[in-house]
Structure 1
Amino acid sequence: MKHVETVIDPVTLSVIQNGLQQVCNEMDLAFVRTAFSPVIAEGLDRSDGIYARGTGDLIAQGELGLPVFVGTMQFSTRAVIERARSIDEGDIFILNDPYMGGTHLMDVKFVEPFFYKGELFAWLANTGHWPDTGGMVPGGFSAHATEVEQEGLRLPPVKLFKKGVLDEEILSIILSNIRVAQQRIGDIKAQAAALAIGKARLTALLDRYGREVVDSAIKQLRTRAAQQMRAKIETIPDGVYTATTIVDSDGVVDAPLEINLAITKSINGLSFDLGGSSKPCRGPMNSVIATTKSSIYLAMKHLFPEVPINAGTFDPLDIAVPEGTFLDARYPSPVSGCAAEVSQRIAEAVFMALAPALPERAFGAPAGTSGNLAIGGFDPETGRNYVMYVVTGGGYGGSAGHDGISNGCSTIGIAKTPPLEILEQRFPVLFEEFALAEGTAGGGTHRGGFGVRYKVKLRRGEARASFVMDHGRVGPPGVFGGESGLPNSIEIVQNGVSTTPPHLSKDQDVALKPGDYLLVRTPGGGGYGPASARSAGLVAQDLARGYGCGAKRED
């Protein structure tokens, strides 16, 4: 008998759409409130979602989750579906393999089948950034890695929970291969608890409306999202739009990497060609295809934020696999910088390419770096090893109507710097400065936002610092005559001697002793329109606040 799809009135459809969203939001909140690591509990570096039972396609994702995970968790859920030999209620798969729909090894996914009245209805999944998964350096951001094994423990899809029971043997293997292992059980239980909340809330939604109605609503919501994205794409004139963005270096070879993007708008929609980009690199700035595609997804969502998020949002986007480039990483290429840094250069290329076609929606390039910094060592006061992982914000680009936001979170997500008081309580460091970096913004009719400047000093013991950042070679570009923001800068002071990293924004195993410190300045956003057209009132306001006008150095 042929299935007839249930016709759902607009009000009910909207209620179910918001109900699915709320399920994910509550998973996000449960994860944050129960996580142990500051990067999750305070920095919000995590995400939760609902995925289709047969394909892993996105149904809904929490509003409080990182946008870059929108696409990647589709691919990782699909990897579980393809490789799972059997599934039972209560099973939870763990994986972080970047080549199976992942990002970097620190982003650990939990994927659980969701059963309703004994039948598989969907998959629930979440991602949390673990502060360490082993590897060459504390924190996993190995700037000099030349193969993925040097970056940490790589997990294919395996059942960490079997019918609701934690597998102690698999857990012991994981904990035996990572630093600060005693702290990870808190994050593991938090991820599992978030999925449990999701099951309870999704069950309640199905109890209220019934499986058939919710199933039909999911299909209709996907169709409508695709229609809305196609309607937005129709506002772009037919043609080919190009842009080139630069990654500072791969951390091993001191030469820039190019992302060359060509976007073709035609009657069929938008097609994206990255095939002219640089070849695979030796260092950790290779990007797996899941991250490459997700970077384009999130860029389009930035340009058209009113389009709802589900798999249909991406149906009109045709992304060719850029084989033979560093944007289609294959084993054993190192990839620790792909999600946090390369993804933002890809998104920047989309923004810059489509700016002429969408002048009212365009903006100068944002800071475009997560500012990944990890400091790990032994604290003699507590008698314990530690790993501190920090992300920092930067300036957003100016737009047609406004100056850019200062100290905004990275392009790829809502993760933010954890409160400094929390970091100073948990780790033997002192932030002697954390302030806006005045003068870093790109000048323009509407200037970019300012980056931040911070100084972090080691208080006791010995430690190693590693960092993978970007936009240190060139600053975020402006649009329509706007100026570029100032680039990232890092100063290392050891025993009173100041040095700059050879690769500008990337280094590892920087030895720190008490009193040594790092001084970091994050990029400002690019400007929109010529600075000569900026109103006298706005210039006076900037000067009165000590901001300066344009991208002037702080010397």
Structure 2
Amino acid sequence: MSTIDDVTLAVIQNGLQQVCNEMDLAFQRAAFSPTISETMDRSDGIYHRDTGDLIAQGEWGMPIFVGCMQFSTQAALAYIQERGIEVRPGDVFMFNDPYMGGTHVMDVKFLRPFFYKGQIFAWFSNTGHWPDCGGMVPSGFSSTATEIEQEGLRLPPVKIFKEDEIDEEILSIVLSNVRVSEERIGDIKAQIGALTIGDRRLTELLDRYGADTVDSAMAEFRTRAAQLMRARIGTIPDGTYEGEAFVDSDGIDDRPLRIHVTMRKTGTELHFDLSQSSPPCAGPMNSVLATTKSAIYLAVKHIFPDVPINAGTFEPIHIADPDGTFLYAEYPRPVSGCAAEVSQRVCEAVFDALVKAVPDLCWAAPAGTVGNLSLGGRDPRRDRHYVMYNLSGGGYGGSLYGDGMSNGCSTTGNAATAPVEVLEQYYPILFEHYRLHERSGGPGKRRGGLGVNYRVRLRGGNAKLSFIMDHGRSGPLGAAGGADGAVNRIVLSYKDGRQYIPRHLSKDQGISMTEGDSVEVWTPGGGGYGNPLERDPASVTRDVFLEYYTIEDAAKDYGVVIDPESGTADLAGTAALRAQMMKERAASA
């Protein structure tokens, strides 16, 4: 039992959270690349001095990094200890090896010891998505990579800063192996600056309450998070539940990859087994273990959002290592698609299992793709090279309580789409439109949210286009009788009128573009929840008025008859059509 009063505990907990939040903001505001400064693809946290366990993380950090940064910190500490590397105040380690508790090589981690009165009290760590780390194609999202070296420079933990002085030799190696190096040095300094802010703020907190009190409070936070998570898990009926999801392809072999989850709930514990998933694949859709586990943690956290985030949150969740599947990538398997795409399919499979157990707490599948699209070339206006990395939103799944949100962020992230005006200033491109993907939300009593549709035209020079997306083969799953959402689509249009549709639907790389060519993307809509024939006709009529769907869709998917002249629902005609449709469905079943 904690001897610290609850008021002091609350103040310290909020103080630790504030330290991380300030690191997030400092990182974002100082970063050079729009991927971090506008999209906010980054995270900051505090970790235990001995175990590397998560203590606190910024509220605006990427959710998939919650588990991954704990795994990467633990791996880095083991690396440092095994090699007897001396650690001094002002040292900062940089690394991005996916197999060391990471995601993909573009997510670069910095790790700094926090000293208080001459002793290491904790570790600060942050992750920033660099738009490029070298590799076959600008951005590193190579859809045809068959080994990790083709995805970019891979670094073990190395001291980029030694006692607050940058190591120019390490820096020169890094900058010599990435594109647009002048932008990377800005991001490096932004990451360092965020950690420095954390050092100052945590020192102030310890000066105020004392190291022993804060240390005891952190242990109490972990205990209480574990207790609350167990209490929430206890509300799930005991039993075994199964779910599955599919990745379109691995970018090499045009066949889907299966993710199969068996979830066993006993008492206040959850056990997950992924062993029936597809074997390792040739292309970059393998997932490292840290990302696979983090995706499951994140999926459960979606169901119980009130549980605070620290290492205790994960204690009641047990995941068997999925050896022999593509969800347990080992060197030299390529993994660029794991964090952005495969992790979302893992979440989707977990949701598919959970919706059978707690349908009132779950929802239909969301769009489930980051929509990674990159363009790299030379800007003739500024006479310099560039790498543009863009991500986009999609529809959320409907739930018992309402329709899914349109143009929401990815399942495993909270990154925002960069403002098109900013991207047009940075790069030689023009967004010709950016709008909702009409008719994309899956029909249901509560329909899925809509994805987005945008077209980008190259304004000057030559460029290489690459993308790794998903849900191009099948749309996000509906739930409780709802229909699936619409699929992802990509079309490249050349200025001479020719069009190119990728063979792998949602994945391709190194496509040449010249001035006047354009690429158009349609992201998936969320799955529908519940029987579409039970949807309120007034809601269907409103959706038609907003041009989310057509009058024909209203009749075909919802059994709602709308008068084209008045735009109102014919209730008698609707009742008759729905009765006929229910009769036909019963007969076919």
Give TM-score scaled by structure 1 length: 0.98
**1:219 lines up with 2:219 in the alignment:** yes
Give the deviation of 1:359 after TM superposition: 1.4
Contact 1:79/1:157 (<8 A) preserved: no
Q: What is the distance in 1 between the residues matched to 2:461 and 2:159?
A: 39
**1:117 lines up with 2:117 in the alignment:** yes
Q: What is the distance in 2 between the residues matched to 1:37 and 1:456?
A: 19
Q: What is the distance in 2 between the residues matched to 1:347 and 1:355?
A: 12
**1:67 lines up with 2:63 in the alignment:** yes
- Residue deviations 1:240-261 (CA, integer Å, cap 9, x gap): 1001100000001110000010
Contact 2:394/2:410 (<8 A) preserved: yes
**1:506 lines up with 2:502 in the alignment:** no
| Counterpart in the other structure of 2:25 | 29
Q: What is the distance in 2 between the residues matched to 1:58 and 1:397?
A: 30
Amino acid aligned to 1:517:
S
| Counterpart in the other structure of 1:430 | 430
Aligned with 2:356: secondary structure? coil
Contact 1:489/1:521 (<8 A) preserved: yes
Amino acid aligned to 1:167:
D
Aligned with 1:244: secondary structure? strand
Amino acid aligned to 1:427:
Y
Contact 1:496/1:516 (<8 A) preserved: no
Q: What is the distance in 1 between the residues matched to 2:533 and 2:302?
A: 28
- Residue deviations 1:474-507 (CA, integer Å, cap 9, x gap): 0001110011000100111123211210000000
- Residue deviations 1:510-541 (CA, integer Å, cap 9, x gap): 10011111110000000110110101221121
Amino acid aligned to 1:392:
S
Q: Equivalent residues in 2 for 1:518-533 (5 A)?
A: 518-533=519-534
Q: Equivalent residues in 2 for 1:462-541 (5 A)?
A: 462-494=462-494, 495-541=496-542
| Counterpart in the other structure of 1:106 | 106
**1:452 lines up with 2:452 in the alignment:** yes
Give the deviation of 1:83 after TM superposition: 1.5
Amino acid aligned to 2:45:
G
Amino acid aligned to 1:389:
Y
| Counterpart in the other structure of 2:574 | none
Amino acid aligned to 1:195:
L
Q: What is the distance in 2 between the residues matched to 1:394 and 1:125?
A: 30
Q: What is the distance in 2 between the residues matched to 1:133 and 1:538?
A: 48
| Counterpart in the other structure of 1:44 | 40
Q: What is the distance in 2 between the residues matched to 1:6 and 1:244?
A: 42
Contact 2:493/2:519 (<8 A) preserved: yes
Amino acid aligned to 1:105:
V
Aligned with 1:474: secondary structure? coil
Give the paired residue count: 549
Q: What is the distance in 2 between the residues matched to 1:538 and 1:198?
A: 48
- Residue deviations 1:266-286 (CA, integer Å, cap 9, x gap): 136100000110000000000
Q: What is the distance in 2 between the residues matched to 1:86 and 1:274?
A: 39
Contact 2:2/2:220 (<8 A) preserved: no
Decide whether aligned partners of structure 1 residues 168 and 315 sit closer, same or farther in structure 2, where only a CA change above 3 A counts: same
Contact 1:393/1:452 (<8 A) preserved: yes
Aligned with 1:318: secondary structure? strand
Contact 1:6/1:212 (<8 A) preserved: no
Contact 2:379/2:428 (<8 A) preserved: yes
Q: Equivalent residues in 2 for 1:284-433 (5 A)?
A: 284-433=284-433
Q: Equivalent residues in 2 for 1:273-292 (5 A)?
A: 273-292=273-292
Amino acid aligned to 1:87:
V
| Counterpart in the other structure of 1:96 | 96
Contact 2:242/2:263 (<8 A) preserved: yes
| Counterpart in the other structure of 1:188 | 188
Aligned with 2:465: secondary structure? strand
Aligned partner (choices 64, 67, 81) of residue 77 of structure 2 = 81
Q: What is the distance in 1 between the residues matched to 2:189 and 2:534?
A: 55
Aligned with 1:512: secondary structure? strand
Higher relative contact order (CA 8 A, sep 6+): 1
Give the deviation of 1:358 after TM superposition: 1.0
Superposed CA RMSD: 1.2
Aligned partner (choices 11, 20, 27) of residue 15 of structure 1 = 11
Q: What is the distance in 2 between the residues matched to 1:354 and 1:75?
A: 25
- Residue deviations 1:54-75 (CA, integer Å, cap 9, x gap): 1111000000000000011011
Q: What is the distance in 1 between the residues matched to 2:33 and 2:440?
A: 31
Amino acid aligned to 1:209:
Y
**1:199 lines up with 2:199 in the alignment:** yes
Give the deviation of 1:6 after TM superposition: 6.0
**1:135 lines up with 2:135 in the alignment:** yes
- Residue deviations 1:362-421 (CA, integer Å, cap 9, x gap): 111000000000100011111101000000000000111111000000011111110101
Q: What is the distance in 2 between the residues matched to 1:359 and 1:242?
A: 14
Q: What is the distance in 1 between the residues matched to 2:548 and 2:13?
A: 44
| Counterpart in the other structure of 2:50 | 54
Give the deviation of 1:25 after TM superposition: 0.4
Q: What is the distance in 2 between the residues matched to 1:486 and 1:80?
A: 42
Contact 2:233/2:268 (<8 A) preserved: no
- Fraction of identical pairs, as percent: 62
- Residue deviations 1:448-498 (CA, integer Å, cap 9, x gap): 100000000111100000000001000001110011000100111123211
Contact 1:455/1:517 (<8 A) preserved: yes
Q: What is the distance in 1 between the residues matched to 2:546 and 2:150?
A: 47
Larger mean CA deviation between 283-292 and 266-275 belongs to 266-275
Q: What is the distance in 2 between the residues matched to 1:227 and 1:43?
A: 34
Give the deviation of 1:183 after TM superposition: 1.2
Aligned with 1:434: secondary structure? strand
| Counterpart in the other structure of 1:233 | 233
Q: What is the distance in 1 between the residues matched to 2:63 and 2:244?
A: 23
Amino acid aligned to 1:27:
M
Q: What is the distance in 1 between the residues matched to 2:479 and 2:346?
A: 17
Give the deviation of 1:548 after TM superposition: 1.4
Amino acid aligned to 1:304:
F
Contact 1:280/1:326 (<8 A) preserved: yes
- Structure 2 unaligned segments of length 5 or more: list them: 558-589
Q: What is the distance in 1 between the residues matched to 2:434 and 2:311?
A: 40
Q: What is the distance in 2 between the residues matched to 1:346 and 1:86?
A: 39
Aligned with 1:349: secondary structure? helix
Q: What is the distance in 2 between the residues matched to 1:461 and 1:501?
A: 23
- The runs of at least 4 consecutive aligned structure 1 residues that moved more than 4 Å come to 549-553
Q: What is the distance in 2 between the residues matched to 1:102 and 1:166?
A: 24
Q: What is the distance in 2 between the residues matched to 1:19 and 1:297?
A: 25
Q: What is the distance in 1 between the residues matched to 2:168 and 2:425?
A: 31
Amino acid aligned to 1:68:
I
Give TM-score scaled by structure 2 length: 0.92
| Counterpart in the other structure of 2:570 | none
Amino acid aligned to 2:529:
Y
Contact 2:180/2:386 (<8 A) preserved: yes
- Structure 1 unaligned segments of length 5 or more: list them: none
Aligned with 1:355: secondary structure? helix
